[in-house]
Amino acid sequence: MKFPLLVTLLYFSTAVLAGGYQGCLERVHLFQAYEIDGLMQHGDRILGWGCNPKSWQNKKCQNDDWSECKGSRTDGRCTFDELMHFMEPGNKANTWNAGVYQPNGRIDAEKTAVKCYQRYQARKSPVKNFPPWKAIKGNVHEFNDYIRKVSDRVDFVYRKQIDSSNNDLFKDFDGTRDKINKARAGDHGKHLIDAARKAVGLIYVQDLGKDPTTGEDMETVDWAKTAQNGDKDIRSRIRNFLNGFYSNKAAREHLAVFKSYKYGNDRAVTCGRRGMQHI
């Protein structure tokens, strides 16, 4: 599979295999979208709804057999732990206890993701992508479609707001998407860096901070800087390396996920929520 070089430089630093921390961040991201969706009237909400597993057939919820997450909050809405239990009954809300909240009542994305990761580790269970139909109403089957639909939903609610009193909810949502991208890059960076050094030669490494679950440094290849500061053949070596390294199906799927998150960021920029973010 061939990729234009400018496209590869843009995407491949963060098109990586998903790790447990990243998977937990995606659960926090869902909860933040759920909170935003809660700004709509009850009948207009679509997040925090799941299809009865027996009714999910042929990528559709037969007979519209949807149920809503019912929680312990005064308005009947779910906490993070209750939403996780609703989606994955094995995550018992009263024992999961992963949700960490700030004094203002909003969820702390990083601390919650760390505790979520620790809960999965304690159970010796991998953090897998959750089936979208357990979280969002509307017959969404593919995880990439789910990411894009959630982004569209958040943008829709943002445009419906008549004042800026809830802007922090949107800033939190956008900030967690940045954390997901960094976690994806850092999780795979050590493999990418070693392989790139062998195939490309001199490369520049980008510091992404610490992995909060392990304390290890998160790094990835800075492809743009590497291309700008190499010899006359550097772009050709980069292109050949990336075309080979990411030619397998799993890598292409992860690239598609990253593109879906980039789609969400671009939509946020378009509707004026934020400027373009880069790792």
**In the block, residue with structure tokens 């700004």:** 39
Does residue 275 fall inside a structural domain?
no
Does residue 14 fall inside a structural domain?
yes
Q: Do residues 144 and 129 lie in contact, with contact meaning Cβ atoms separated by under 8 Å?
A: no
Does residue 42 fall inside a structural domain?
yes
What is each CA distance from 72 to 79, 82, 185, in whole angstroms?
7, 8, 37
pLDDT of residue 91: 67
Does residue 153 fall inside a structural domain?
yes
Does residue 279 fall inside a structural domain?
no
> How many Cβ atoms are within 10 Å of 182's Cβ, its own excluded?
19
Does residue 277 fall inside a structural domain?
no
Q: Do residues 150 and 30 lie in contact, with contact meaning Cβ atoms separated by under 8 Å?
A: yes
Does residue 266 fall inside a structural domain?
yes
- Phi/psi for 272 (5° steps) reads 85, 15
User: Which residues lie below 8 Å from residue 263, measured CB to CB, with a gap of 6+?
Assistant: 147, 148, 151
pLDDT of residue 274: 58
In tens digits, what is the pLDDT along the chain, a chain of 279 residues? 444 444 445 444 544 334 689 999 999 999 999 999 999 999 999 999 999 999 999 999 999 999 999 999 999 999 999 999 999 877 666 777 899 999 999 999 999 999 999 999 988 888 888 999 999 999 999 999 999 999 999 999 998 886 788 999 999 999 999 999 888 778 777 778 998 999 999 999 999 999 898 888 999 999 999 999 888 899 999 999 988 887 877 767 767 776 788 888 887 887 766 554 555
Does residue 87 fall inside a structural domain?
yes
Taking the mean position of all CA atoms in its chain, how far away is CA 85?
Answer: 19
pTM of the model: 0.86
Q: Is 11 left (phi over 0), alpha (psi -120 to 50) or beta?
A: alpha
* Number of domains observed in the structure of the chain: 1
User: What ranges in the chain are assigned the alpha helix state H?
Assistant: 5-11, 20-37, 80-87, 93-96, 109-122, 143-160, 167-200, 223-228, 234-245, 249-270
Q: Is 76 exposed, middle or buried (0-12, 13-18, 19+ CB in 10 A)?
A: exposed
| Structural domain boundaries, residue 239 | 5-270
Residues 69, 74, 78, CA angle at the centre, nearest 5°?
Answer: 25
- Per-residue DSSP letter, 130: P
Round to the nearest angstrom and report the end-to-end CA distance of the chain: 25
